[in-house]
Amino acid sequence: MKRLIHGFKLLTTALLMSGIGNFVAGATRVGELVCEYHTDPIGIDVEKPRLSWKIFSDRENVTQSAFQIRVAELPSNLKKNALVWNSGKVNSGQSVNIEYNGPKPKSMQRLYWQVRVWDHRGKATPWSEPAFWETGILHSEQWIASWITMPNEKKAEESKPCHYLRREFAIAKKVRSARVYVSALGLYELYLNGIKVGDELFTPGWTSYKNRIQYQTYDVTEMVRSKVNVLGAILGDGWYRGNIGFNKQHNYYGDQLALIVQLCITYTDGTVETIVTDDSWKATTGPILSSDIYNGETYDARLEMPGWASPGFNDSLWSRVEIKDHSRNVLVAPQSDPVRAVMEINPVKIIITPKGETVFDMGQNMVGWVRLKVKGNAGDVVSLKFAEVLDRDGNFYTENLREAKVTDTYVLKGEGEEVYEPRFTFHGFRFVKIEGLSDTPSLENITGVVVHSDMQPTGHFTCSNPLINQLQQNIQWGQRGNFLDVPTDCPQRNERLGWTGDAQVFSPTAAFNFNVAPFYTKWMKDLAADQLPNGKVPHVIPDVLRGEGGSTAWADAALIVPWNTYLAYGDKRILEVQYSSMKAWVDYMKNRAGDNYLWIGDNHFGDWLAFPIKRSGSQESTTEKDLIATAYYAYSTQLLANTARVIGKKEDAEEYELLSEKVKNAFVNEFVTTEGDLISQTQTAYSLALAFNLLPDKSIPQVAANLADDVRKFQHLTTGFVGTPLLCKALSDNGYEDLAFMLLMRKEYPSWLYPVTKGATTIWERWDGQKPDGTFQDPGMNSFNHYAYGAIGEWLYNYIAGIQIDPKAPGYKHFFLAPHLGGGLTYAEAVYKSMYGEIRSQWNIEDNQMNYEVKIPVNTTATVTLPSALLEDVLFNGSSLKSIVEIEAWQNEKGVSLKLGSGEYIFNYPL
Ligand code: BGC
């Protein structure tokens, strides 16, 4: 039935289409099973893991009416019905995040599961292929390993050589399976018989170390040898005791590195042997002379110890380790995606700068490091320095990195081609300055290794404007670079901290580009762990600013991030888990505000880095912080009420709904003038009032008109971190979408596209990081990779492509498809891989004809709005929409709307 329209631009979305190709014609099947968002996870400690699946069908309008899950200890038991848990047939349309409800899982237990569903006609699918999850160490007393540390290390304020630890052990029986559970104070790399275990980086990750330290679980069945084996580990300072924060802090969490390892080997006879860290391990230092996240790594290859992690190595000169007294109760299993080397980039050119520096251009501002390939003599020193930009004259520019030394130094051993890459540091850079090469530099000398949390890519947006496409690329690169286990402000200077404000404004955009549910689940637990007893939320999470916090719009990450995660994934659990933290933050504001419901007088960051408006004596120069604080107080309280309702806390829901109303009224009384204007006549103030629903209906048109007037007056945005994410939305939702498009399409400073015209490949911290004359902003605060202003990404997906969440059916169980045309765009396409499957919204305009193609996943429905359409003109899959009796379509002021079930559909109509 599908008609291909002449000239229709079909874009490749292969990346997002995986897993949909192989099904039998006419069939509906279940696939892509995940547990806690991961495929076949091992080492999890969630007591009631949640199971999700996707349904694929070549029919239209398919929904699930019931499901059945069965769980067994072996895949073969599933068929035999020798089950640990059988859900029975459950009449439910839920196919995302269903709680396992069988007997409590034991530690280190693998359970296999499969599912079948009944469609809307009551027809059952075949059972899915089995999937599994495996638990880690669920009870802290099951940790029998000790924390071990290198003895007699002198206290120092700068990075010391990394530690190497090893232990040999012999086994006598045949191995059936082997798991190793590992963690560290500091960062670790684990080796078994000379080979690195797993491909995860920056383990054990960064958490609120005093309360939670992650351990990783690896399946090492294939790595254990018969007879003699060696476990080895390298420990680096990392976040634990390296430089952290902009206050020159060292040893923030502790000054001693430590390792804990528990290797459990199950033999074919069913017996289990456990090898642990204890005082029989030996330790030394080696070639990594220093290693620091901000400063880089120094590696002397002449000090390598070949075979140190393999059997037979002579460790007689190594010292014995000491047992370190440190809690094991803090050990938790990871929930986020691990950090990995996700992609590699080759440099595009070598530049000799006016100052004579040899600089590689990677062509992309990236985060990670470079792999160096060199030849030379023993003792030759090659150094690599990293920068985001070249200055106006084309010289290497590092002033904006502040005190971070960002230098990797490699001392050659002189043995032919040598390959080096660092382990426990990362850099944010596009340019690499190399010194000390004995040969002429060549592009083969370095390869960029892009490192970030390995989140599943879920979103894709393109349109007919190449500059907007570059903006979208920059947003995605900003996310890659700043989602390195923690959502950081920036990846390059001596900061790289989990700034809460930046994270919350970017969270809706983040959830389009990648699946961030696991990432935020972890980070939110750290937020709750680091929250102060009075509810105050630290500015950065994990907190390394000694509890400094409580700023409006920053601390509200406590509410906004879980709420956005719930909306994007239908994840109720994050709301349940975070509830007390959310409530504590709202109660904190309630205490600060007192009886008049206005939050006045506290210290806040305000509309950080807003365009400076200079008009003397005018209140317009900045948005009043008290106004922002009270707006966020109302908004977060509303979210708390919503949350309470979702998780069944009725009384709280009523209480906080009422409180939110009172704060809104107080906001209006205090900040809205009798003429219907706001006390702060700024785009940020207007956007907050509109987007947060703070105004009575009668005031909305006036405030919206004032916002529009202000935009017209300036012809550009004037917003900072607080206003920017809301500005275009406030304009679009209140009848001024032409202005939203004008702001988006603007190429001069200040605008989103100005950096693009300057060659940016990531989002800048400031609207004028590089000024029109080529000079830079204040180096004390000038990152070229800060995702906050990338929050416009949400508007690209929501409005231009028109994919919108329905808060009443979160996680895209029901959603809206309503593209907004404007800005001279002639086509746009977004693909979003939801928990149910792929959503596509793709339109183009040709000869005044609108062609719109959509895809709606099985077990969801969408309300589609065709902008500026007349019902009688619309062709639906080639036939007149009006004549199709099964479809209810209605004309409204936006165009034509209709409700559709799963399938792929094409609309054509004249504009
Ligand atoms: C960070 C910001 C952060 C801000 C707080 C800066 O140093 O880089 O992104 O939100 O401080 O105002």
Radius of gyration of the chain (CA): 29
How far apart are the CA of 499 and the centre of ligand 1, in A? 6
How far apart are the CA of 584 and the centre of ligand 1, in A? 23
Residue with structure tokens 């680096």? 236
How far apart are the CA of 753 and the centre of ligand 1, in A? 22
DSSP 8-state class, residue 25: T
Closest residue CA from atom 8 of ligand 1:
489
CA distance 666 to 637: 14
Residue 905 tokens, joined: 């559909």
Q: Which of 502, 507, 607 to mutate to test the pocket of ligand 1 (most atoms within 8 A of CB)?
A: 502
Confidence at residue 740, expressed as pLDDT on a 0 to 100 scale: 98
Q: Give the CA dihedral 421, 428, 747, 691, nearest 10 degrees.
A: 130
Q: Helix 683-691 to helix 625-646 angle, to the nearest 10 degrees?
A: 20
pLDDT category, 10, cuts 50, 70, 90? Answer: very low
Query: Could you tell me if 620 and 566 are in contact, meaning their C-beta atoms sit under 8 angstroms apart?
Result: no
SS3 681: coil
Helix (H) or strand (E) holding 572: helix 572-593
Burial of 885 (0-12, 13-18, 19+ CB in 10 A): exposed
SS3 628: helix
DSSP 8-state class, residue 417: S
Taking residue 553's Cβ as centre, other Cβ atoms within 10 Å add up to: 28
Query: Distance of CA 634 to CAs 80, 623, 660, 663, Å?
Result: 56, 17, 5, 5
How far apart are the CA of 132 and the centre of ligand 1, in A? 42
Query: Distance of CA 366 to CAs 297, 457, 494, 499, 577, Å?
Result: 18, 17, 17, 20, 34
Average pLDDT (771-798) is 96
Helix (H) or strand (E) holding 431: strand 427-435
Closest residue CA from atom 2 of ligand 1:
489
- In the predicted model, is pLDDT for residue 20 greater than 50? no
Average pLDDT (650-666) is 98
pLDDT category, 616, cuts 50, 70, 90? Answer: very low
**Helix locations, 483-553, DSSP H:** 500-513, 517-530
Q: What angle do CA 109, 113, 116 make, to 5 degrees?
A: 170
Burial of 813 (0-12, 13-18, 19+ CB in 10 A): buried
Give bridge partners of residue 816 from the DSSP assignment: 804, 863
Closest residue CA from atom 12 of ligand 1:
605
Sequence letter at residue 83: L
How far apart are the CA of 498 and the centre of ligand 1, in A? 10
Average pLDDT (385-396) is 97
Query: Could you tell me if 784 and 389 are in contact, meaning their C-beta atoms sit under 8 angstroms apart?
Result: yes
> Of 683, 728, 721, 726, which is closest to residue 703 (Cα–Cα)?
683
**Which residue ranges have their beta carbon within 6 Å of ligand 1?**
489-490, 495, 499, 501-502, 605, 608, 786
Query: Could you tell me if 652 and 644 are in contact, meaning their C-beta atoms sit under 8 angstroms apart?
Result: yes
> Of 880, 879, 874, 885, which is closest to residue 897 (Cα–Cα)?
874
Index of the ligand 1 atom closest to the CA of residue 539:
5
Share of the chain above pLDDT 90, in %: 93
Give bridge partners of residue 284 from the DSSP assignment: 164
Sequence letter at residue 236: G
Helix (H) or strand (E) holding 527: helix 517-530
CA distance 475 to 313: 48
Give bridge partners of residue 909 from the DSSP assignment: 850
Give bridge partners of residue 260 from the DSSP assignment: 183
How far apart are the CA of 295 and the centre of ligand 1, in A? 20
Index of the ligand 1 atom closest to the CA of residue 783:
8
Q: Give the CA dihedral 100, 563, 720, 788, nearest 10 degrees.
A: 10
Sequence letter at residue 341: A
Index of the ligand 1 atom closest to the CA of residue 502:
10
Confidence at residue 21, expressed as pLDDT on a 0 to 100 scale: 38
CA distance 363 to 347: 7
Closest residue CA from atom 9 of ligand 1:
489
How far apart are the CA of 521 and the centre of ligand 1, in A? 22
Q: Which of 492, 554, 608 to mutate to test the pocket of ligand 1 (most atoms within 8 A of CB)?
A: 608
Average pLDDT (652-676) is 96
Give me the sign of the Cα torsion angle 297, 299, 305, 311.
Answer: positive
How far apart are the CA of 401 and the centre of ligand 1, in A? 14
pTM of the predicted model as reported, rounded to 2 decimal places: 0.95
CA distance 642 to 650: 10
Confidence at residue 699, expressed as pLDDT on a 0 to 100 scale: 94
pLDDT category, 614, cuts 50, 70, 90? Answer: low
- In the predicted model, is pLDDT for residue 514 greater than 50? yes
Confidence at residue 26, expressed as pLDDT on a 0 to 100 scale: 58
Helix (H) or strand (E) holding 358: strand 358-374
Sequence letter at residue 672: V
- In the predicted model, is pLDDT for residue 5 greater than 80? no
pLDDT category, 676, cuts 50, 70, 90? Answer: confident
CA distance 765 to 294: 19
SS3 613: coil
Taking residue 480's Cβ as centre, other Cβ atoms within 10 Å add up to: 26
Index of the ligand 1 atom closest to the CA of residue 721:
10
Confidence at residue 160, expressed as pLDDT on a 0 to 100 scale: 87
3-state helix, strand, coil in the chain (%, to 5): 25, 30, 45
Confidence at residue 674, expressed as pLDDT on a 0 to 100 scale: 87
- In the predicted model, is pLDDT for residue 247 greater than 90? no
Q: Which of 486, 490, 492, 499 to mutate to test the pocket of ligand 1 (most atoms within 8 A of CB)?
A: 499
Query: Distance of CA 900 to CAs 5, 60, 529, 569, 897, Å?
Result: 21, 9, 44, 21, 10
Index of the ligand 1 atom closest to the CA of residue 788:
9
Express each pLDDT in 840-865 by its tens digit: 999 999 999 999 999 999 999 999 99
Closest residue CA from atom 4 of ligand 1:
499
Cα 31 to chain center, whole Å?
25
CA distance 493 to 496: 7
CA distance 226 to 429: 45
Share of the chain above pLDDT 70, in %: 96
> Of 529, 526, 521, 528, which is closest to residue 455 (Cα–Cα)?
521
Closest residue CA from atom 3 of ligand 1:
499
DSSP 8-state class, residue 830: E
Q: How many CA atoms lie within 13 A of 809 on its CB side?
A: 16
Average pLDDT (455-475) is 98
Residue 45 tokens, joined: 């400690």
Index of the ligand 1 atom closest to the CA of residue 605:
12
Residue 640 tokens, joined: 């708390």
How far apart are the CA of 491 and the centre of ligand 1, in A? 12
How far apart are the CA of 624 and the centre of ligand 1, in A? 18
Query: Could you tell me if 708 and 736 are in contact, meaning their C-beta atoms sit under 8 angstroms apart?
Result: yes
CA distance 376 to 382: 10
Burial of 827 (0-12, 13-18, 19+ CB in 10 A): middle
Buried b (16+ CB within 10 A) or exposed e, 728-756: bbbbbbbebbebbbbbbbbeebbbbbbbb
Residue 237 tokens, joined: 């300072």
How far apart are the CA of 18 and the centre of ligand 1, in A? 38
Q: Which of 489, 496, 537, 628 to mutate to test the pocket of ligand 1 (most atoms within 8 A of CB)?
A: 489
Instruction: Compare 675 and 349 and report the one with higher pLDDT.
Output: 349
**Helix locations, 65-142, DSSP H:** 75-80
Closest residue CA from atom 1 of ligand 1:
489
pLDDT category, 742, cuts 50, 70, 90? Answer: very high
How far apart are the CA of 432 and the centre of ligand 1, in A? 26
Positions marked catalytic: 495, 765
pLDDT category, 631, cuts 50, 70, 90? Answer: very high
- The helix/strand count (H/E) of the chain reads as 15, 48
Residue 239 tokens, joined: 């976040």
Closest residue CA from atom 11 of ligand 1:
499
CA distance 232 to 226: 17
Index of the ligand 1 atom closest to the CA of residue 500:
10
Query: Distance of CA 191 to CAs 167, 194, 305, 488, 781, Å?
Result: 11, 6, 14, 29, 40
Express each pLDDT in 346-376 by its tens digit: 999 999 999 999 999 999 999 999 999 999 9
- In the predicted model, is pLDDT for residue 156 greater than 90? no
Express each pLDDT in 752-763 by its tens digit: 999 999 999 999
**DSSP class per residue in 697-739:** GGGHHHHHHHHHHHHHHHSS----TTTHHHHHHHHHHTT-HHH
Confidence at residue 157, expressed as pLDDT on a 0 to 100 scale: 73
Mean pLDDT of the chain: 95
